């Protein structure tokens, strides 16, 4: 069975602007990869340490924002590893993914204390971190050769006490003394990005979530850095305001500012380019590294769900079923999103490539090519033309029945 090789794009500060509009879709973008493996392979064989990598693919390293943390331009995401999805990779399969990534030169892993998603009996939250820790121990991986990012569960869970307590739990599961980047999984205050931007406006009533001030948050994170438990910190699923406020607050207090921002980004979801996040993160401003997830829009940008978006809905749990967390992916199945996918697929075929390759632009296989070439500028303009006709289509929904009355498809407030 083929399992997707999940990745992140890590754009960072430095002497050259990191967020040139076109560079996000060119060879330097590093937006993802697919890697196939056989789940039927002998598990015992997969548990044996691999020989040293003598010929890694050309996966570049770069600084994470203003920090001294070095990250791979391609990183390995882990959200659904050992989850309750029927086709989720078990620990043995995850070891194969990690082996392949490591041998290719990928040195950055992204996880969270809440992973796997979905979790359940036999697959509790935190088990993904356990899997990563077991792999590093079984392979005798030099900890200093790896960059590990993990996240504290957000909202009302975030407090100075819980930041250290939850971090200690992650360190124990990962079997390490420190993490390279510690992120808030989502804000401890309300803002629309908390439900992937589906809300129509800011909701003042949602501020009940705010448990600590920006000052207290910055002090708590800086304390973890001084204790040597983390090397840097950042935000996930936050806003341009949250990012800027944290940076300014930390700098004014003489504390370590955030150096990473993780957000949803793909051909169907360019809001970070347009809502101020990338302006704030720019090396000209706060100099924060941007980490993209869902770069294939929940798999929709492979094209495989276009004819039957929920083929497993009635039989088995799967990524695109409409129970539990699967409901959040409806944002990639709106009519405008599907219209854009059809046009992107047409452009890909005209350029002699797959929709997935067009959507990612840099993969492990692509990185091995000797004749790497960026996308043609005319093709980039055609991509922009499609985007302008279907601007941020994940926000659109033509099924808004009266009975919703203030609640959207996943329960988000629609005032």
What are the backbone angles phi and psi of residue 316, rounded to the nearest 5°?
Answer: -135, 155
What pLDDT shows up at residue 21? 36
What pLDDT shows up at residue 33? 29
CB neighbours of 37 closer than 8 A, spacing ≥ 6?
Answer: 2, 3, 93, 96, 97, 100
What pLDDT shows up at residue 40? 27
**Predicted structure pTM score:** 0.85
Are 73 and 60 in contact by the 8 Å Cβ rule? The answer is yes
What pLDDT shows up at residue 15? 36
Residue 11: DSSP 8-state: E
Q: For residue 42, is it left (φ>0), alpha (ψ between -120 and 50) or beta? A: beta
Q: How many CA atoms lie within 13 A of 387 on its CB side?
A: 19
CB neighbours of 405 closer than 8 A, spacing ≥ 6?
Answer: none
Spans of the chain, pLDDT less than 50: 1-48, 51-52, 54-55, 312
What pLDDT shows up at residue 139? 97
What pLDDT shows up at residue 328? 74
What pLDDT shows up at residue 305? 83
What pLDDT shows up at residue 317? 58
Q: At what angle do helices 91-103 and 127-139 cross, to 10 degrees?
A: 60
């Amino acid at each position: 069975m083929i399992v997707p090789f999940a990745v992140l794009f890590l754009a960072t500060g430095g002497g050259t602007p990191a967020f040139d509009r076109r560079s996000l879709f060119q060879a330097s973008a590093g937006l993802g990869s697919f890697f196939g493996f056989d789940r039927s392979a002998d598990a015992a064989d997969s548990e044996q340490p691999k020989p040293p990598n003598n010929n890694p693919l050309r996966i570049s390293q770069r600084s994470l924002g203003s920090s001294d943390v070095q990250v791979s331009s391609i990183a390995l995401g882990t959200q659904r590893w050992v989850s309750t999805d029927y086709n989720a990779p078990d620990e043995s399969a995850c070891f194969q993914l990690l082996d392949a990534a490591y041998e290719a030169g990928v040195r950055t892993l992204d996880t969270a204390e809440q992973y796997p998603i979905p979790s359940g009996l036999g697959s509790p939250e935190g088990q993904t971190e356990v899997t990563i820790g077991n792999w590093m121990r079984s392979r005798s991986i030099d900890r200093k050769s790896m960059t590990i990012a993990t996240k504290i569960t957000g909202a009302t869970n975030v407090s100075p006490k819980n930041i250290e307590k939850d971090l200690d739990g992650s360190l124990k599961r990962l079997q390490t003394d420190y993490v390279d980047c510690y992120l808030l999984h989502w804000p401890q205050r309300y803002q629309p990005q908390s439900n992937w931007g589906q809300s129509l406006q800011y909701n003042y009533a949602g501020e009940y979530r705010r448990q600590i001030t920006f000052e207290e948050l910055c002090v708590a994170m800086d304390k973890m850095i001084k204790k040597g438990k983390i090397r840097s910190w950042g935000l996930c699923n936050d806003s341009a305001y949250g990012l800027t406020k944290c940076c300014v607050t930390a700098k004014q207090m003489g504390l370590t500012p955030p150096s990473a921002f993780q957000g949803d980004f793909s051909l169907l979801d360019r809001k970070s380019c347009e809502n101020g996040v990338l302006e704030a993160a720019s090396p000209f401003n706060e100099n924060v590294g941007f980490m993209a997830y869902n770069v294939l829009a929940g798999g929709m940008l492979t094209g495989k769900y276009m004819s039957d978006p929920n083929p497993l809905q009635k039989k088995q749990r799967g990524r695109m079923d409409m129970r539990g967390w699967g409901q959040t992916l409806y944002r990639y199945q709106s009519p405008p999103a599907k219209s854009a996918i059809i046009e992107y697929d047409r452009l890909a075929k005209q350029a002699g490539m797959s929709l997935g390759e067009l959507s990612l632009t840099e993969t492990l296989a692509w990185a091995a090519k000797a004749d790497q070439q960026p996308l043609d500028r005319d093709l980039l303009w055609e991509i922009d033309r499609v985007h302008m006709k279907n601007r941020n289509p994940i926000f659109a929904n033509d099924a808004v029945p009266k009975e919703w009355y203030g609640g959207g498809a996943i329960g988000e407030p629609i005032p």
